[in-house]
Amino acid sequence: MSLFDIMIGMAQKKVALITGANKGLGFEISRQLGAKGITVILGARDETKANAAAQKLQSEGLDAHALKLDVTKADDIANAAEFVKQKFGVLDILVNNAGVNLDGNGDVSADSLRQSFEANVIGPYALTKAMLPLLKASPGGRVVNQSSMLGSLTLISNGQGGNWTTAGYTSSKAALNMITVVLAHELKGTRVKVNSAHPGWVRTDMGGANAPLDVAEGAKTAVGLATLPDDGPSGSFMHLGKTLPW
Ligand code: NAP
């Protein structure tokens, strides 16, 4: 790293954008990044919920901003890139956390599969592409794709998906993992790292009340990957510091 890079890094407070940040893991990831002195932009598809979440973190003394961002809407993605460019001129961290599990009882229609891919794969990909110039402007851009062990071909084919082995969620998270690998490959030689996180089974609206982990523990993997040092990995799939099989 050059002296110029070090000076830029010291001069600027880091800026992070977290999608699906109005509740659950996204909100907690925002809180933990904010507590590290990072400016956090909380994206949510409902503007009122984005504002409420950002205000809650502001009331805790964090530098939090709200952004209406439905990751399946091209206009919202374009507006998000323009918002970050105008307000900050750089993006250090993008956490593609927003996600859906639409699989219900497991009888997944083609239309439902399409919706899962829109939210869990195409949205994160489109948002990352839109943010790349801003991430490249950072002294160390970090992209975290919030995946799941249920996106691991290895673990699912070993029978470790249990009742969660349903077509829409698993295949969309597997595709998101491949996006991680491909983007990491494409960005080799730049300062941007792209990694997939498995948060664990976490008590949220999606994870349900029986999950063993609370959100504070569940947020740790994404926060760790969002704040990786320059010699950290890119193109990896991690849970609490351990590498998962693809
Ligand atoms: P959650 O409480 O249901 O939160 C999901 C978040 O994603 C909500 O903020 C939701 O917004 C948002 N979202 C959904 N579709 C969106 C869209 N099109 N645009 C923008 N935001 C959208 O679930 P969570 O447990 O915190 O999950 C967060 C991430 O972790 C997901 O990607 C999930 O797959 C992953 N994950 C969770 C677990 C777990 O055990 N909880 C395990 C593995 C992976 P609304 O409030 O508007 O619906």
Which residues form the domain of 211?
11-243
Domain for residue 4, yes or no? no
pTM of the model: 0.96
pLDDT in tens, 159-204: 999 889 999 999 999 999 999 999 999 999 999 999 999 999 999 9
Q: Ligand 1 mean position to 96 CA, how many Å?
A: 10
The larger pLDDT score, comparing residue 12 to residue 193, is at: 193
Task: Give kind and range of the element (H or E) at residue 132.
Answer: helix 123-136
Residues with CB under 6 Å of ligand 1 are: 19-20, 22-26, 44-46, 69-72, 97-100, 119, 123, 146, 148, 199, 201-202, 204-207, 211
Would you say residue 221 lies in a domain? yes
Structural contact between residues 197 and 221, judged by C-beta atoms closer than 8 angstroms: yes
- Mean per-residue pLDDT for 37-47? 98
Which CATH number covers residue 161?
A: 3.40.50.720
Q: Is the pLDDT of residue 52 over 70?
A: yes
DSSP of 84-128, one letter per residue?
HHHHTS--SEEEE-------TTS---HHHHHHHHIIIIIHHHHHH
- Asked whether residue 208 is assigned to any structural domain, the reply reads yes
- For residue 2, pLDDT over 80 is answered with no
Tokens of 170: 């698993």
- Tell me which of 17, 19, 23, 169 to substitute to probe ligand 1's pocket, judged by most ligand atoms within 8 Å of the beta carbon: 23
Compute the average pLDDT of residues 8-37: 91
Q: Average pLDDT of 57-74?
A: 98
pLDDT beyond 50 at 142: yes
pLDDT exceeds 80 at position 29? yes
Structure tokens at 150: 């249920």
In a domain, 5, yes or no: no
pLDDT, tens digit, 9 for 90 and up, residues 91-107: 999 999 999 999 999 99
Is 50 a member of any domain? yes
CB 66 within 8 A of CB 44: yes
Number of domains making up the chain? 1
Is residue 2 a part of any domain in this protein? Answer: no
